[in-house]
Amino acid sequence: MRRAVAITIGAGMIAAGTALAACGAAEPGEAAGDSLPRVSSAAPADLSDGLITCAMPDFDGKTGLTVTERFILIDGQPKRYSDFNNQAFDLCQAGQDNCALKIENGVIRMDWTSANGTRSRYDVDLGTLDIAAYTTKAGEAERAVAFREGAKCVREPLPEGLQVM
């Protein structure tokens, strides 16, 4: 069971979320038990508070399928966002294996492995707002996931009435 303290934040606070809301976390930066390639922002990273929405149209070659990942930054730390509940939350629970959400060298890195062994990784460059998506199925090598060329993330103010969990 997840414990959380809700804090309501006023004017302009935003966040984003997906079905990954139920997952928990290892130490920040620890994920999937293996080392990931180092990443760094291609431009000066904007770590100011805000909502970052990343829509990836034609995800994995599927025309008409758009996968959207949403993050918020609060005090320089990333969280996931549920627009349904207007809540920002930690992606991972303390001590959870195969889950991480952190900022590394100006890049938000989300890395999560599902119970069936499928690993999803997203890197969002906070300087350029470019996103890269990767997946690894159990027993296979990691591969980049394609989506419509030119897709970028969008930064907005935090939403009114945001609850931080």
- pTM for the full predicted model: 0.74
Asked if 92 contacts 99 with a C-beta cutoff of 8 angstroms, the reply is: yes
Q: What does the alpha-carbon distance between residue 76 and residue 48 come to, in Å, rounded to a whole number? A: 6
Domain boundaries, the chain: 7-158
Asked if 16 and 71 count as a contact pair (C-beta separation under 8 A), the reply is: yes
Q: Which residues contact 42 (CB under 8 A, 6 or more apart)?
A: 125, 127, 128, 130
| Residue-wise pLDDT tens digits, 129-146 | 999 999 999 889 999 999
Helix, strand, coil abundance in the chain, percent, nearest 5: 5, 40, 55
CA distance 132 to 129: 10
- 95-140 per-position pLDDT tens digit: 788 889 999 999 999 999 988 899 999 999 999 999 999 999 988 9
